[in-house]
Chain A
Amino acid sequence: MDGLDARVPEISPGRPFRDWVTTFGALSWSGFRRFATYRQATIAGSFTNIVFGFLRCYVLLAVAAGATDAKPGGYDAEQLATYVWVGQGLLTVVALWGWTELADRIRSGDVTADLLRPVHPVIGYLAPDLGRAAHAMIFRFLPPLAVGAIFFDLYAPERWFTVPLLAVSILLAVVGSLGLRFLVNATAYWLHDARGPITLWTLSAGILAGLYFPLRFLPDWLAVTFWVATPFPGLLQTPADVLVERDPPLMQFALVALQAVWAVVLLALAAYVQRRAEKRLVAQGG
């Protein structure tokens, strides 16, 4: 210590990409470890997902049984059952509910600490969130799917590229969801209290992402509008449709491409909103 210094230590000068990857990786790992400590909550949450899996699965199977052509929305019974269980697993992976971290930090004024860090706030939230999602993939996605497979007949994908494509689709879903959650939470910069916007987000995400029923049950024009004009179907509906091979291969890829477009747009929007907010931010508390 030969003097006070506020420089950011450079991990490998001259190789900025490696720098970036190391920081990003460390942040993601911290997100993973953080959620790995909430073991009891993980068990309780999985139990709840499983109960809802049974509820929704029975309802959709009854819908399939009552339909004249036996293919409501273009899904057969096995595809519908898979749709339900994948949705119950994914909803924690994409954190459809209950993420108020940024809003709470804005409200308490802690967000100023985020601004002091040498990492852009959007990246500073994205990296740990990917770690959180990786934890959820293992401990929240697989258990409901396993229970579903024990009690119901599930659909096994037939195309070789479906599973890798699903992985990409889930990754894009998490990124898109973080972008959306960031935007919703960021309303607290202006409103100080984001409870209203968060309730609205929970509601629209549940319906428009296809959690309550597959969007294909809606009239075509409405489903297409939701898909193209809103980012929500990319959160659950697209990954689930990719897995159950609801569409021909070309359409399968097109849906994932649409997710990618939305993910980029949402991250850019989040960065823009953050810049605007920083200009008017007056830290509360003290």
Chain B
Amino acid sequence: MANPYTSLARAQWRSFASYRTSFVVDLLSNVGGTALDVVAVLVLFQATRTVAGFSLSEGLLIVSLSSLAFALADFSVGNVDRLKTYVRTGLLDAVLVRPLGALPQLLLMDLPIRKALRLVVGVVVLAVALHVNDIEWTPARVALIVIAPLAGSVFFGAIFVISASVTFWWIDSGDLGSAFTYGGRDFTAYPVPVYSGWFRALFAYAMGFGFVAYQPAVTLLGRDDPLGLPAWTGFVSPLVALIAAAAAALMWRAGIRHYRSTGS
């Protein structure tokens, strides 16, 4: 069963390799993109003393956890946001008649090799962030530094699949999904106390974005959460990720069943 998928992936690779200049520019821009997400946060922290009580180096830890988790998810399942084009043009029919899983095919039909170097940037920034912060290492914290980006990427992956699935019901949903995928990335790049009111309650706790980078970072730094959540909430991220993944699986199945070809 692995064979057809490898062929799909290899075909993608050949397609990129045939437009070399464009591919190289794309690869470098993607590296720049991840680096600049971090730079944007640094510039904002530089313009002031503290942001919602967090210093520059603490902010760096939060954004590095968020951007590594997002880069992992974007690399593996980020392509699913092209689903809206497939549904609108009817290309999804071709995907569904093949004797392979629909989701893996979609992911491999446009494997983002150009995004691969983003992961490297993400790991480097995280290493720098861990170095500039004075962290008291305990076995639990060592485990957390591995768990947090992985759980975060599962969580973002689930968000990608959920926002893409909206198109099964609302064909012309356009950029709606970006509000939660890229918007979620931007939300998790800053300490949660930055936001306030119903907006914070909705994104951080109801949707769970607060547990991707902020709560783990607070636990790693060993400081009290200004919003009063206990230290163990830093370890909640795998649980939140599992719930999100289950929701994504349900939504995807319901969506595929609901799909009616555009018939063109």
Which residues of A approach B to under 8 Å, CB–CB?
38, 40-42, 44-45, 47-48, 51-52, 54-56, 58-60, 62-68, 72-73, 191-197, 199-200, 202-203, 206-207, 212-213, 217-218
B48 to A66, Cβ gap below 8 A?
yes
Contact among A40, A62, A197 with B25 in the assembled complex (CB-CB below 8 Å) = A197
B173 interface residue (CB < 8 Å to A): yes
Q: Which residues of B contact A58 (CB under 8 A)?
A: 194-196, 199
B40 to A207, Cβ gap below 8 A?
yes
Q: Which residues of A contact B28 (CB under 8 A)?
A: 200
A63 to B48, Cβ gap below 8 A?
yes
Q: Which residues of A contact B36 (CB under 8 A)?
A: 203, 206-207, 212
Q: Which residues of A contact B39 (CB under 8 A)?
A: 207
Q: Which residues of B contact A191 (CB under 8 A)?
A: 19, 21-22
B96 to chain A, nearest CB (A): 24
B195 to chain A, nearest CB (A): 5
B16 to chain A, nearest CB (A): 9
A51 to B179, Cβ gap below 8 A?
yes
Of B28, B32, B172, B174, the most chain A CB neighbours within 10 A belong to B174
Contact among B29, B46, B195 with A203 in the assembled complex (CB-CB below 8 Å) = B29
B176 to A44, Cβ gap below 8 A?
yes
B19 to A66, Cβ gap below 8 A?
no
14 further contact pairs, Cβ within 8 A, besides A67-B47, A196-B21, A207-B39: A45-B175, A51-B179, A52-B183, A52-B186, A55-B187, A63-B48, A196-B24, A196-B26, A200-B25, A200-B28, A203-B32, A203-B36, A213-B40, A217-B43
CA distance A62 to B49 in the complex (A): 11
The count of A-to-B residue pairs whose CB atoms sit within 8 angstroms is 129
Q: List 11 A-B contacts (CB under 8 A).
A: A44-B174, A44-B176, A45-B175, A191-B19, A193-B22, A195-B19, A196-B24, A196-B27, A197-B25, A199-B25, A212-B40
Contact among B22, B171, B175, B195 with A197 in the assembled complex (CB-CB below 8 Å) = B22
Which residue of chain B has its CB nearest to the CB of A200?
Answer: B29
Known contacts A63-B48, A67-B49, A213-B40; is-contact A41 B172 (Cβ 8 Å): yes
Q: Which residues of A contact B175 (CB under 8 A)?
A: 41, 44-45, 48
